[in-house]
Structure 1
Amino acid sequence: MSFKKNLDYVHLSKYFYTLSIVLTIAGLICLSFFGLNYSVDFKAGSNVDISLSKPLTAEQISPILKNMGIDENEATISPGQDRMNIRFTKVLSEDNDAKLKAEITKLDDKASFEVNTVDPEMAKELARNAIYAVLISCLGIIIYVSIRFEWRFAVAAIVALLHDAFMVIAVFSIFRLEVDLTFIVAVLTIIGYSINDTIVIFDRIRENLRFSKQKSREDLIKLVNQSVAQTIMRSLYTALTVFVAAFFLFLLGGESIRMFSLAMVIGLLFGAYSSIFIASPLWFVLKSKQKHKPAKAS
């Protein structure tokens, strides 16, 4: 366990800050130019998910859509071995819905269909409520940490959790992964795990502050490194157990939770180091600027 005691987490944090800044800039560029690949949950239109007993190709489906009067730009066909997804940019009428099912059933009589439709107003309301959910949760965390600890801890904690949430959003934007309602649930869950790990480390820092003297910047560095070393294994074990569960859910779970599982996997990877190399060193930077005052317990 000696490696934990000798590791300078504050010094190492500059490399992780650099990595996070590079990924943040890349994410902002992708979001500015491409945005997010929203599912039908956030866009008006219809999404038809088809379970198949034999593979079908896009070439077999395209004539069916053309006969229904649907332009190729109004539908995206995503074929697979035992599934096929067709996304329509407009709400599918009842007649076209019936025609589509009838024609595909001729190609595969064991095909089953799941149709999801969202109208424009509902799509706007879902997107708006998702943003409110994230903002309100962040506000609640800021208030709690400010009361429970101090404003420096609150600033560091909120930067770390926003970092984790944005990294997931950036990865989904860069790789054009589909964003649906389960993605929002995953982001809120990641925020919860992020603040949990951060609070554990901050609580240890606050406890160590009570029994140590901070006369210099080096004393604060030593305190932060010691506090992280005392809690790092707990943080890693917690993240690892959830990561394993999320990873196998992604591999073996159903299509409906695939994006949730993937977002959790990505978020846990980023969250594993943000509490250690982002939040704690940031608190140190803020605390070290406190002039001519000995560090005190909150």
Structure 2
Amino acid sequence: MRSKRKFDFVKSSRRFLIASALITLLGIVAVSVFGLNYGIDFSSGTSVDVTTTKSVEEAKLRVFLDEQKLGDYTLTLAENRDSIRFKEALNEQQEKDFKAAFNTTFDPDASFEINIVDSDIAREQQTSALLGMAIACLGIVIYVSIRFEWRFAIAAVVSLIYSAFFVITVFSIFQLEVNLPFILAVLTIIGYAINDTVVIFDRIRENMRFAKLKTNDDLDELVNSSIWQTLARSINTVITVLIASVCLFIFGSESIKLFSLAMIVGLICGAYSSIFIASQFWLYLRKKQPLKKVAVKPQSTP
């Protein structure tokens, strides 16, 4: 029986897939032109977080940093906490001189959290991050292939790559800092996205056990019904995590704001890709295989 719901996911999928392809093309152009704004985790440099007992004026702090002659830097100010990112890795003497000068100029009771990453460690962390994401995708392919079939696995990976690349595109366009928490956010997004995708795939598989598929239209209806049957669960899961991510972004410290932002963007995109990319891509692959003809028993003549 045909679904009487107004919105047909399968019928509308072509528009969404074209839009997704255009966004992916935009992302490739953005990453090629703008690149990624790597933090010190992936490029050599020094991160200095200073906690003060009183607020420090930005203008005076910039004058102070220029006088230290420690190279290019970026500055982020929060209430009683200043984050400074130097593009150069400071040596031990430069670190001691900076602390002493800051205490003398602004606050003798200021405390410092300093992280220094040299070029070798930065390259090693880049390699480890890429390797981790590759292993995660490979594990998903193996898991989905064993639990379902190869078409589900391919569709799931295409969907996950789109979700991860969409977040990368946003960070590239706005030149937001890419660091280890960003990689952690992407891996978390992949986890939530594959969860939504597997739920839809599981319902598709269950419905196929009892469906009598004679035409491709029957297959379209099966996928459409499966999405509707799991839609409430997917939305509730995403909204629950999304509320937590938004709260972290608004009320959390500066150090986790970009992590929270990546989670917000990725969760929304992950839910979208599960519905409009993973299930539709599987449907496309499944239609390449001829449907089994349903045997019709001849009626006996009286």
What's the TM-score, normalizing by structure 2? Answer: 0.90
Q: Which residues of 2 match residues 231-270 of structure 1 at below 5 A?
A: 231-270=230-269
**Separation of aligned partners in 2, 1:265 and 1:91:** 32
Aligned to 1:76: 74
Report the secondary structure of 2:190's partner residue.
helix
Report the secondary structure of 1:256's partner residue.
helix
Q: Matched residues, percent identical?
A: 49
Aligned to 1:13: 13
Flag the 1:294–1:104 CA change in 2: closer, same or farther, 3 A. Answer: farther
Q: What amino acid does structure 1 have at the position aligned with 2:45?
A: G
**Separation of aligned partners in 1, 2:46 and 2:4:** 53
Q: What amino acid does structure 2 have at the position aligned with 1:247?
A: V
Aligned to 2:284: 285
**Separation of aligned partners in 2, 1:294 and 1:201:** 26
Flag the 1:197–1:291 CA change in 2: closer, same or farther, 3 A. Answer: same
Larger Rg belongs to: 2
Aligned to 2:297: none
Flag the 1:61–1:254 CA change in 2: closer, same or farther, 3 A. Answer: closer
Query: Does 2:131 correspond to 1:132?
Result: yes
Aligned to 2:299: none
Aligned to 2:300: none
Q: CA deviation at 1:62?
A: 4.2
Q: What amino acid does structure 1 have at the position aligned with 2:97?
A: K
Q: Which residues of 2 match residues 102-251 of structure 1 at below 5 A?
A: 102-105=100-103, 106-251=105-250
Q: CA deviation at 1:5?
A: 3.7
| Residues 187-245 of structure 1 deviation map (CA, whole Å, 9 limit, x = unaligned) | 11111111111011101101111111111111111100111111100011011101101
Query: Does 2:73 correspond to 1:40?
Result: no
Q: Which residues of 2 match residues 57-76 of structure 1 at below 5 A?
A: 57=58, 59-71=59-71, 74-76=72-74
Query: Does 2:273 correspond to 1:274?
Result: yes
Contact 2:215–2:291 at 8 Å: present in 1 too?
no
**Separation of aligned partners in 2, 1:46 and 1:160:** 36
Flag the 1:22–1:108 CA change in 2: closer, same or farther, 3 A. Answer: farther
Q: What amino acid does structure 2 have at the position aligned with 1:211?
A: F
Q: CA deviation at 1:33?
A: 1.5
Contact 2:216–2:287 at 8 Å: present in 1 too?
yes
Moved segments of 4+, more than 6 Å: none
**Separation of aligned partners in 1, 2:200 and 2:5:** 15
Report the secondary structure of 2:290's partner residue.
coil
Q: What amino acid does structure 1 have at the position aligned with 2:92?
A: E
Match of 2:88 among 83, 87, 90: 90
Q: CA deviation at 1:101?
A: 2.0
| Residues 134-163 of structure 1 deviation map (CA, whole Å, 9 limit, x = unaligned) | 000100110111111111111111111111
**Separation of aligned partners in 1, 2:175 and 2:67:** 30
Report the secondary structure of 2:201's partner residue.
helix
Flag the 1:4–1:234 CA change in 2: closer, same or farther, 3 A. Answer: farther
Q: CA deviation at 1:82?
A: 3.6
**Separation of aligned partners in 2, 1:4 and 1:145:** 31
Structure 1 residues without counterparts, runs of 5 or longer:
none
